[in-house]
Amino acid sequence: MLPALPLQNGGAGPVLLLWLIILAGFLAIVYFVYKDAQRNSQHPAFLWAIVVFLAPLLGLILYVLLGRNGGGRGGRPSSRI
């Protein structure tokens, strides 16, 4: 007889909940990048959201380093003295 898989013994509840929490966090990050890029980037916000959606960690790092320039629609340019 084959050993039972964890999902076969009613253990799908916690695993499903964990995946839903991870998915919600992932979608929240994509939404945050989209809304932030509308305010703080000269590049199209939709493209930044696509980059973060397709490559989450790398896309988020690239957005923080390259995408936020403060010169976008409604954004204030950073003033350094």
State both tokens at 26. Answer: 């992932």
What DSSP character marks residue 5?
P
Alpha-carbon gap, residue 71 to 81, rounded angstroms: 18
Q: Give residues with Cβ within 8 angstroms of 67, minimum separation 6.
A: 33, 37, 40, 41, 43, 48
Q: What is the pLDDT of residue 73?
A: 47
Q: pTM of the entire structure?
A: 0.69
Looking at residue 14, its pLDDT comes to 82
d(CA 38, CA 40): 6
Where are the domains positioned within the chain? 32-72
> What distance in Å separates the CA atoms of residue 24 and residue 17, rounded to the nearest whole number?
10
Chain segment 24-69, per-residue pLDDT in tens: 999 999 999 999 999 998 899 999 999 999 999 999 999 999 888 7
d(CA 48, CA 33): 7
